[in-house]
Amino acid sequence: MLNKLTIGGVTLENNIVLAPMAGVTDLPFRLLCGEMGAGLVYTEMVSAKAIYYNNRNTEGLMEINPSEVHSALQLLGSDA
């Protein structure tokens, strides 16, 4: 039996979490993992600088499908 996982005010159905992996956790892969029972999925890691400079490739990395009930995005960067 899988335990539920609570993060802040969000309770997930289970404790299976798909880690953010550059070049791997694109939308089709996340959808598949969600169908297979992942309680939480992450987008690929996204550069904060790429968002700041409006990099057009970054927008696709941040796309979240409405069927992804519990999804998260991890920002990376060190320049505040």
Nearest in space to 34 (alpha carbons), one of 63, 70, 5: 70
User: What is the β-pairing status of strands 75-76 and 71-72?
Assistant: unpaired
Tens of pLDDT, residues 19-66: 988 889 999 999 999 999 999 999 998 999 999 999 998 988 899 999
Q: What is the pTM assigned to this prediction?
A: 0.82
Terminal CA-CA length for the chain: 42
71: which strand partners? 41
